[in-house]
Each structure stands twice: as C-alpha cells, then as structure tokens.
Structure 1
Amino acid sequence: MTGADLLTDAFGRVSESVHRVVKGLDARILMARIDADANSIAWLIWHLTRIQDDHIADILDTDQIWLSAGWVDRFRLPLPPADTGYGHSSDEVAAVVVESADLLLGYFDEVHDRTLHLVAGLTENEFDRIVDENWTPAVTLGVRLVSVLTDDLEHIGQAAFIRGVLQRR
C-alpha cells in the first residue's frame, strides 16, 4: 500500500462519516446547539470542509472551491468570503445558517473530489515537499495532509456526538 492509497482510504472514511452524520437532517437539527456556546452540526461540517478546501487549494496553488465554484454565494453567510471558521466566536458560529443537508454535502463532496484527485496523483517522494514555511519546522505535504485528516476526524466526531445527543432528546 502506498501513501496515496492510505490517504485515499482515510479521506474516503471521512466522506462516509460526513454523509452518515448529515444524511436525513433538516435545517432545524443542523443548526441546533446543545448549549448556547456549542457548535452546531452545520458549523462543524462547513468548517471542516472550509479548512480542507483552504489547505488543498494552497497545496495546489489554486483558488478555493468555496470561491471559484460559487459556494460562497450559495451559502450566503454574513461572513468574509475567505472565512474558514477558525477561531469563531459563539456569535459567528450562530451566523453559519445552512438551509439544507444537500447544500452542506454538495460543497463537501466537491472539496472531497478535489482532495482525492490530489492524493491519487502523489508519488512517495512528494510527501516531503515543503508546503508551508511559516512554521518551525516547515510543514511538508505529508504533514499537511495528516493535519487536514486530523481536523476532519475531530470535527466529524463532534458532529456525530451532537447528532446522537439531539436524537436522544
């Protein structure tokens, strides 16, 4: 198994989890917060997708799908176009209002497809390529992809927990 194979499997599992958590939820449940300052399922899925989109676009030196494919216009959020949700306050979390699971999944699926396209073309020696010199040590492509996966898994786990709590209420 190559590194590309391993990452393809891992990102595929993220996609399965995102779909499992979001499938069948209406806007009311997507936006529900288990307390006044908690993240909603909608915010968590939007945020993990925004971070992945941002990081993959940076790796590819291209525009984010959020901007280039018009998702920013479809979501119509009262946030700056480049906002990824990083460091959001409770009020900013509440501003991420999503009208449907289909909207979230449409954006996620497009970012996921781009991610798989990137990963499928990687050779073993590319994982050591420096992609971000703003950190010490500098961040390699392999480390950045693992970082994206870690963020995805953390947030999808949170969203699954919230869904479970809301379903038991």
Structure 2
Amino acid sequence: MQSKELLLEAFDRLPALVRQVLEGLGEVDLQRRPAGNGNSIGWLIWHTGRVEDAQVASASGLEQVWTAEGFVSRFGLPLAERDTGYGHTSEQVDAVMAPRELLQEYYAAVHRQTVQVLQGIDDPDLDRVVDKHWDPPVTLGVRLVSILGDCLQHLGQAAYAKGLHAEPADAPGA
C-alpha cells in the first residue's frame, strides 16, 4: 500500500462517522451541550469540517470549500469568514446553528476536496514543508496526520455527546 492509499483509506472513514452521528438528530439534539457547557454536536460537526477544510486548503494552495462553494453564506453564522471554531467562547459555540442536512452537505464537500488533494500527491510530496511557524517546520505528511487525528477526536466527542442524550432501551415509552 502506498502512502496516498493509506491516507485515502483513513480519510474515507470520516464521512460515514459524520453520517452516523447526525442520523436521527433534530435541531434541539444538535444544539444540546453536554453538562450545559460542553461543545454541542452541531458545533463539533461544523468545527470538524472547518478544520479539515481550512488546513487542507492552506497546505494545498486552494480556496476553502467554505468560501469557494458558498457555505459561509448558506450557514449565515455571526462569525468571521475564516473562523474555524478554534478558541471559541461559550457564546460563539451557541451561535453555531445549522440543520443536519447542511452540516452533512458541507462535510461531504470538504471531503471531496480532501480526496482530490490526496489523489494528486505522491510520497515525495509528503515531505514538502507547509508551515514554517513551527520548530521543526510542518510537512504535508505531518499536517495530514494532524488533521486526521483532530477530525477523529471531534467526531468521537460528537458520538459520545449523542450517546449521552440517547433514551435507554428500557426507558418508559422506548
């Protein structure tokens, strides 16, 4: 297996995780915050897409799907155009509201761009420095692994949050 194939296999698992988390959730479910102050499922899915979008686009010299495909206006969030959710306050987390279908559509578009990028790389490309702000500088390979880890963590958090609100099978009315 080549590095590109391994990365494609790993990133190709993410859309199914997004669909599984979002399946069956309504607006209230998407906005509910664990313990009243944790990140909501809707915010976590949005943030997962934004992080992957921003970092893959930056590392590849592409425009973010968020702006290129008009998702910034479709979401209509009261946030800066380039906001990815990093360092959000509690009020900003609350401000990220979107229907399940839009969250899923945005992530699917981000994934398509990621796949296009991955299909166009070869092993030597993974050693290309994409961020000199770190010591040592960050290569494309390191950045892709970092993005993947970040996405998996956030989707795991979203799945956990969904489970916190699931009605037990033996509950009355279940």
Question: Identity of counterpart residues, as a percentage?
Answer: 43
Could you report, residue by residue, the CA deviation over 1:72-120 in whole angstroms, capped at 9, with x for unpaired residues? 111111111110000111111011011x211001000000010011111
State how far apart, in whole Å, the 2-side matches of 1:12 and 1:68 are. 22
Structure 2: which 5+ runs fail to align? 169-174
C-alpha RMSD over aligned residues: 1.0
Q: TM-score, normalised by structure 1?
A: 0.96
**Is contact 1:53–1:66 with CA below 8 Å preserved after alignment?**
yes
Corresponding residue for residue 127 of structure 2: 128
Q: Moved runs in structure 1, 4+ residues, more than 4 A?
A: none
Q: Which amino acid aligns with 2:137?
A: A
Q: Which secondary structure state, in structure 1, belongs to the residue aligned with residue 35 of structure 2?
A: coil
1:137 maps onto 2:154 in alignment: no
Structure 1: which 5+ runs fail to align? none
What pairs with 1:19-168 in structure 2 (closer than 5 Å)? 19-98=19-98, 100-168=99-167
State how far apart, in whole Å, the 1-side matches of 2:76 and 2:32 are. 19
State how far apart, in whole Å, the 1-side matches of 2:118 and 2:167 are. 38
Which structure would you say has the larger Rg?
A: 2
Q: Which secondary structure state, in structure 2, belongs to the residue aligned with residue 85 of structure 1?
A: coil
Could you report, residue by residue, the CA deviation over 1:43-85 in whole angstroms, capped at 9, with x for unpaired residues? 0010011011101111221211111111011111111111000
Q: TM-score, normalised by structure 2?
A: 0.94
Q: Which secondary structure state, in structure 2, belongs to the residue aligned with residue 82 of structure 1?
A: coil
